Amino acid sequence: MKKIHYIYTLLFGGFMTVLSGCQDFLDVNVDPTLKSDATVQELLPTAQFYTSEASYQQAYYAGQYAQQIGSNLGTNGTDAYYEAENAAGWSNLYLYVIPQLNLIIQKGTADNNPAYVGIAKTLLAYNLGLATVNWENVPYSQADQKIFTPTYDSQQTIYTTIQQLLDEGIAELTKNSGVKPGTDDLIYGGDLGKWSRLAYSLKARYAMHQSALNPQTASQTALAALPNAMTSNADDFQLQYNSKNLSPWYSRVALANSTGNLSITYGSTFVDLMNGKVQGVVDPRLPVIVSLKNGQTTYSGVVPGSGAGSTVDFTTRAWHSNINSPIVMMTYAEVKAIEAEARFLANGGTITSTGTTNEGYAAFIDIVRANMTKLGVSPQDFDLYVSNPAVGGGQDSLTLLKIMREKYKAMFLIGDIWTDVRKYNYLDFPMPLNVNPDLNGQRIQRMKYPSSELTRNAQNAEANQKQPGAKMWVFTK
């Protein structure tokens, strides 16, 4: 099996510790990353586990930049726009995800198992999407060729590659030959229809990433993919954890908080969108998502860049951080948000305009419906919430800000929401207190390449490193 030892071997031992815990989760007796004869059935669950890890790592940092969550640890944390490397996410991608998925593609092609090839290409596209929204330009074309100092592919090239991988993955998933996955597929249990719908959903997601460049092109591309995308919450792209195999939001955040090892908590920007302070209506999802500290009765999140002001905390009772919580990577609610935004823009809408089509407004309402259904909110509470004029107010009153607010809530702890926040210039979000002075009043736009990369691949990394406030998605079409 190919490995990517040109970067991050210093972190290899730490990841082996993680993988040893992963072994029980995967029920695999031999570490497939160390087996040259690993089967696709052994490789797939491990690649899915590390994809989930990458999603958690991204959300941990991106969620702070997007002000969904914030630091409990003082005034110079990530939520004050100090640069995060996300070194674990980077090494995870290049030590495990890319090599294993490429090996699945290689073996699946050689053995005529197109289902595995299609799944692997879809997962590879997703992971490249995580990487480019974190760091912009990243190594890919030379990333699995045992090149010690790989060149970086431009963000424009990465997006082209993502769409190509998804198209190829969809084509493979429709072939009726070879071995089909079963319990080794930890996400969809071998349901190839769901994998195909995910691939189309991702095509729409990554098309809309570029809507600031050309709103009409991005919207039409997304709308062309959406008829084949997710159709219900049953299609949600997530990895389920349990009492034996613990979700990182439970084990690394909620349990740690309960013993006084504080790290992050809910951000005031997110909580104030839920508690009625911003919209004038209390969102019924508030007590499901957000937990009060003992003795507290009002919901207040940590003010970005302050490390203070919070009456809430991640606990083992909250939907996203309990013992059975999944790592959620993409949902039907997000698909409906993509549709609502795309129809709004295709109708000539802008960040300051008002009004959309009937279909666009129906998609907007379905963002809320899908997410509330997933979280177990009653239909009565849903009806009461969406009937409030402050939430929607009808198709003639819809704005991009309203769409993005509901998407922001529905995508809690899905790191890709930082893309939308940046794309629309941080919406109406407050500037953090004690903000990183290196930004000179700008908003944070990117993560920093890890120190290990700047050491081992210095020439290429330094050539692609930009200032933290430099905009992304500015390449020409």
Cα separation, 328 vs 349, in Å, equals 30
**What's the DSSP call for residue 354?**
-
Partners of 264 in the β-ladder: 71
* Per-residue pLDDT tens digits for 327-361: 999 999 999 999 999 999 999 999 999 999 999 99
**What's the pLDDT at 13?**
33
Look up tokens 């195909």; give the residue.
196
Cα separation, 287 vs 285, in Å, equals 6
Name which CATH class applies to 9-187+433-464: mainly alpha
Count the neighbouring beta carbons within 10 Å of the beta carbon of residue 43.
Answer: 25
**What's the pLDDT at 75?**
85
The Cα angle at residue 331 between residues 326 and 336, in degrees rounded to 5: 160
Query: Which regions of the chain are under pLDDT 50?
Result: 1-32, 34, 476-477
3-state secondary structure at position 243: coil
In the chain, DSSP finds a helix count (H) and a strand count (E) of 19, 4
**What's the pLDDT at 275?**
97
* Dihedral angle sign, alpha carbons of residues 191, 193, 195, 198: negative
Cα separation, 50 vs 4, in Å, equals 15
3-state secondary structure at position 164: helix
What's the Rg (C-alpha) of the chain? 21
Strand locations in 29-110, DSSP E?
69-71
**What's the pLDDT at 475?**
61
Q: Where are the domains of the chain?
A: 9-187+433-464
Cα separation, 210 vs 471, in Å, equals 12
Cα separation, 395 vs 383, in Å, equals 16
Q: In this structure, what is the dihedral angle of CA atoms 141, 145, 149, 150, given to the nearest 10 degrees?
A: 0
**What's the pLDDT at 422?**
97
Distance of alpha carbon 443 from its chain centroid, rounded? Answer: 20
Helix H segments across 111-179?
Answer: 114-135, 155-173
Burial (CB < 10 A; 0-12, 13-18, 19+), residue 234, is exposed
* Per-residue pLDDT tens digits for 375-389: 999 999 999 999 999
3-state secondary structure at position 386: helix
Output the DSSP codes for 176-207.
--SPPP-TT-TTTTT-HHHHHHHHHHHHHHHH
